[in-house]
Chain A
Amino acid sequence: MKPVNQKAWLLVLPVLLIVAFSAVIPLMTVVNYSVQDSFGNNQFFWNGLGWFSELLDPKSDLGSRFYDSLWRNLAFSGIILAIEIPLGIVVALSMPRQGWTVSATLVLMALPLLIPWNVVGTIWQIFARGDIGLFGAAVNALGIDFNYVANPLAAWFTIIVMDVWHWTSLVALLCYAGLKSIPDAYYQAARIDGASRWAVFRTIQLPKMSRVLLIAVLLRFMDSFMIYTEPFVVTGGGPGNSTTFLSIELVKLALGQFDLGKAAALSIVYNLIILSVCWVFYTVMTAADARADADAGRV
């Protein structure tokens, strides 16, 4: 066997150092804080697994806040997925396939994705205001009382519509890419067989889109599960706690109350949930890739 020169590993060293300082050590610090109670003047006291017990106990203050924001967050993710995925498919199906309108549509669709998240929040915060916002004022003029500062339902409505506005185009663009990859021969065969529009969608377009749809679902789930900026800018987690999602709760604990131990325990559990979803995401993606390779006879 030829001797292998291992010196190239030294080139990886800078990356290792950066990752150590930007990710590994902060993560270790969080684990370290989660078993301690912190006081001013940099005093720390050992608390064992106390914060975790409290976090997982729905009857405690910390636990009830954790579970409430967790359910709120899951409900939010569920609702936006139920809207954005079907809507994205419909939009992708109705996008033009050829001609100059293709580029125009793509640019228009990509616009919301290019806007910084805090700006999206600001846009909607003003847009939905009952006094000066176009949307809020219009709804109020119809005789419906719409005030997202005071009414939880209106706050949820505003945040969900904002997320749909911001991210449906991502789903649509992903689906569009999936649709573009379908060879024309499939459609010709379907026409010869006299397939209906619905049959074409169900047996040709949907199966061909299934992989990109999977990416879209998982991306949107993780993103909405970690959402912070937009609801923070629009409602600040209110009215009351009605739009306080996990990340907002976390920031309240860590920076509002400076309860480093509680915040660390919460962020570890939060992180574990995200890590599990990431793992499922990664596994499903690589399995799908392997299947696609096998289908194409590339193995």
Chain B
Amino acid sequence: MELAWMAWTWQTGVFFAGIASLLLTLTLLAIFRPETERVGVIGIATTRGDRLFISLLGSAFIHLAWLGLVGPGLGWASGLALLYAAAVFRWV
């Protein structure tokens, strides 16, 4: 594939492919496993999509905080973000 166009790199490609596949998964889930909103620990009604959004936004801040406070080497930050996402999907 030609990646020189607009200076695309495979790393950003992987990143967006990941997000696109998450969205695709949610779309398929919405079609085959419809859901209703539920109210979790923060007291607002959320759907799976809302919880994914909260997870992604939180993960971005977790990675940034790690980068700013600890430094490069984001393996632990990603682990923390995954834990956070799991908690969001379980309890929010």
Contacts and interface: CB of A to CB of B under 8 A. Distances in A.
A267 to B, nearest CB: 13
Contact of A31 (B15, B45, B74): B15
Nearest to A34: B12
Which secondary structure dominates where chain B touches chain A? helix
Interface string B1-31: 0000011110110011000000000000000
A272 B45 CA distance: 22
Interface residues of A, number: 26
Interface stretch (A85-93, A123-131, A199-207, A275-283): A275-283
Contacts of A49: 67, 72, 74
Contacts of B12: 28, 31-32, 35
A198 to B, nearest CB: 32
Contacts of A243: none
B: contact size bracket: 20 to 34
Interface string A43-56: 01010110011001
Nearest to B15: A31
A290 B9 contact: no
Contacts of A32: 6-9, 12
A287 interface: yes
**3 closest cross-chain pairs (CB), A and B:** A56-B68, A44-B7, A32-B12
Interface of B: 6-9, 11-12, 15-16, 43-45, 53-54, 57, 60-61, 64, 67-68, 71-72, 74
